[in-house]
Structure 1
Amino acid sequence: MVRVVGTDPGTSSLDLLLLADGAVVGQERLSPGTLQRDPEALVSLLRAWLPIDLIAGPSGYGLPLVRGEALTERHLEEMSLVRPDQRGIDAGVLGFRSWVRALATSGLPVLFLPGGVHLPSIPAYRKANTIDLGTADKVAVTALALQADAADRGADFSESTFAVVELGSAFSAVMIVSRGRLVDAAAGTRGPIGVRSGGCWDGEVAYWRSPLSKESLFRGGLIDLGPEGPDAFRESLTKHVAGLKAVTPFDRIYLSGALAERPDLAALARAALEPLGTLIPLRSLSGAWVKHAAQGAALLADGLAGGHHAGLVASLELANASGTVWDGLRG
């Protein structure tokens, strides 16, 4: 029996899902406050779930399949992307470095997953001057959607081409799958306007407001724009998805994210996306209530541990992930 755990270190919570031979047998949600007060809370919970064959650890911006025992301080910098002078501020995922370090040194079988920028399926020219092509949790959401798409159509992963739109508690993201591979993305601060984030930055604005802090990346979104927010949010989503579709045609769009369940945001998403393809709410695994990213991460952990979802891992080419988040920077 293969027992694995998927995690999602979101802005609003850390979600965990335990699978045994592909079936949901445990799930939990830890608040940022709990993790900040007690970095060992995560390890304690996981020990209560033993035996575990593999844990897809909270990976932030991602690493190319790095084991917990091999994690270095440089790896932590890559995953968190917080300048030394900004650490400890009230933005992003609170206490991320502390509890990831505790997990990595726990002796538990932890593996940190790649982000889009690490995957060979995204061409190098799309990575130029780019860090965020979908963080590791967005790759996990894509995995969940790919599993659902192939199952619903009764087809091989190689026959799946679609988009995934996730409305997170801070950021919005769009991931593009072509023939079972993640090939493009517009996410985070280079993606559509989010609930809290302003999405794509104007370089002149960044220059004028510099020096920027991490907190600056969590401003300028729908909730900050007042009466202009809904129209800006909807149109930004349309522009990004339509632009990606012009490069990689698709006819199905999976909608994910806890905030996609909010009636006002769901209505804006429908208005933006329905003209561009068949809009499909991304369903959860049977019995799962945690966030989609934790579910997708569990599927990837199962596949990496030799379970039922090995084909999913192979389709997304996780074994060939490589490089760092900084490799695409030029100049």
Structure 2
Amino acid sequence: MKVLGIDPGTKSFDLCGLENGEVYFEEILDTSEVAKKPELLIEATEKAMPLDLIAGPSGYGVELTYLRDLNIQTLKDWYLTYILLLKEEDLEAALKKGNIGIMVYSAMTETAMEMKRRDWPVCYIPGVIELPTVPAHRKINKLDMGTVDKMCIGVLGVYDQAKKLNIPYSEVSFILVEMGFGYNAVLGISEGKIVDGIGGTTGGIGFLTAGGMDAELMQLVGNWEKVDIFTGGGISVSGKLSPEELIECSDADKRCEVAWGATIEGIVKGVASMMTTVPHPKEILISGRLTRVEKVKDELLKRLAKFAPVRRIGWLQGARRVKESAQGYAIVADGLAGGKFVELIEWMGIKNAKGTALDHIYHPKGKSIRQKLEEKISFRP
């Protein structure tokens, strides 16, 4: 059995292939290049063929949905609405501005269409908010409790801790800290299941994103666009174009010092608040591109040790290059296809995920937007 997981990251697209549960294929594509030439993703996927199942780029997540069941005439609108939470007019406006983040969304949509034309065995999978293991009261007025890539890292973490500590999935308990190029997230895992999450747009600042924002600011600004999600974070505070540069200057440059302090403190606050739902985690697992920067890793080890032992999440045996999220995507694909990880995927309730990220909006204005989107394109074909 051969499966592939495709993680569409802010900095890179990572592809991880498993054959009978073992890593056999790894490919990394620069996100800016995929944005300009979507066919690069198609060509990279072809290198891993033949495949029994592909866990395709799933954005904010949906209940388990197979590409074969979607109508190609409505696929573009469906993908934009439910996978990317993006209106077509916002996409077109942002493309005219040349925003790289939106160009990636466009590339993801184009490749979904091409995969449909080629009749590839693709499925789209849930993020944290669609999981049945997360209580409904934690989902109120949330869209992002952890996008699909974060959910997949949680899956990898459950497998890793169970293997490392030689315990059943039911005894796994940890808090996951994920720090990527664009966004940070904190997930809570109890009894081997994801039970809570603070997504990149609801927690502290990331390098690109402003994270959770004051509703008073939203009211004052009035008109927000999708591209605004990619701004307002460390890059805006510091004026530096890479997280490494920001971190390097944090002891000498005041703006960098402020951005660095906000980033790290946001993570610590996220973990502290997650102790409400996971009060006795066995470990704090750290993951993501930024945690591989020595200063970030050292600071996390120092600041988070008061909660639980801290370590970097373990990788799949044989994985050498692709990041944790791609490995998790591949684990999910393998489990869904009935492979080595089927017990893990069933235990974590991924097959039983329901609906979309739009399903838990109660604010009157949010509900009206949801209704308009659903009137334009139904989630279920």
Q: TM-score, normalised to structure 2's length?
A: 0.83
Give the CA deviation at 1:133.
1.3
**Structure 2 partner of 1:272:** 303
The answer as to 2:135 corresponding to 1:119 is no
How many angstroms apart in 1 are the aligned matches of 2:341 and 2:189? 17
Contact 1:122/1:184, CA 8 A, preserved across alignment: yes
How many angstroms apart in 2 are the aligned matches of 1:105 and 1:271? 51
**Structure 1 partner of 2:112:** 100
Aligned-partner residue type, residue 324 of structure 1: T
Contact 2:11/2:32, CA 8 A, preserved across alignment: no
Give the CA deviation at 1:259.
1.2
Structure 1, unmatched stretches of 5+, are none
The answer as to 2:342 corresponding to 1:310 is yes
The answer as to 2:199 corresponding to 1:195 is no
Q: Between Structure 1 and Structure 2, how many residues are aligned?
A: 330
In the TM superposition, what whole-angstrom CA distance separates every residue of 1:17-68 from its partner, at most 9, and x where no partner exists? 1111111111101222332333233223222322211111110001111111
Contact 1:63/1:112, CA 8 A, preserved across alignment: yes
**Structure 2 partner of 1:90:** 99
Aligned-partner residue type, residue 150 of structure 2: K
The answer as to 2:272 corresponding to 1:245 is no
How many angstroms apart in 1 are the aligned matches of 2:299 and 2:231? 20
How many angstroms apart in 1 are the aligned matches of 2:80 and 2:225? 19
**Structure 2 partner of 1:31:** 30
Structure 2, unmatched stretches of 5+, are 238-254, 365-381
Distance 1:37 1:92, change over 3 A: closer
**Higher CA-based Rg:** 2
Aligned-partner residue type, residue 243 of structure 1: S
**Structure 1 partner of 2:265:** 235
**Structure 1 partner of 2:40:** 41
In the TM superposition, what whole-angstrom CA distance separates every residue of 1:184-216 from its partner, at most 9, and x where no partner exists? 000111022212222111101111122112222
Residues 155-304 of structure 1 correspond to what in structure 2 (within 5 A)? 155-225=167-237, 226=255, 227-249=257-279, 250-288=281-319, 289-304=321-336
- Give SS of 2:198's match: strand
Aligned-partner residue type, residue 262 of structure 2: A
Contact 2:196/2:277, CA 8 A, preserved across alignment: no
**Identical counterparts, % of pairs:** 33
Contact 1:256/1:292, CA 8 A, preserved across alignment: yes
How many angstroms apart in 2 are the aligned matches of 1:264 and 1:12? 20
How many angstroms apart in 2 are the aligned matches of 1:270 and 1:220? 27
Contact 1:234/1:271, CA 8 A, preserved across alignment: no
Aligned-partner residue type, residue 269 of structure 1: L
Contact 1:43/1:106, CA 8 A, preserved across alignment: no
Distance 1:270 1:302, change over 3 A: same
Aligned-partner residue type, residue 13 of structure 2: L
How many angstroms apart in 1 are the aligned matches of 2:175 and 2:132? 18
Range moving further from structure 2, 34-43 or 252-261: 34-43
Aligned-partner residue type, residue 296 of structure 1: G
Aligned-partner residue type, residue 10 of structure 1: G
In the TM superposition, what whole-angstrom CA distance separates every residue of 1:124-179 from its partner, at most 9, and x where no partner exists? 11111011111111111101111000001111111101111100101100111110
The answer as to 2:18 corresponding to 1:19 is yes
- Give SS of 2:132's match: coil
**Structure 2 partner of 1:319:** 351
**Structure 2 partner of 1:81:** 85
* Coordinate RMSD, CA, aligned: 1.6
Q: Any runs of at least 4 consecutive aligned residues in structure 1 with deviations exceeding 3 A, and if so which?
A: none
Contact 2:9/2:31, CA 8 A, preserved across alignment: no
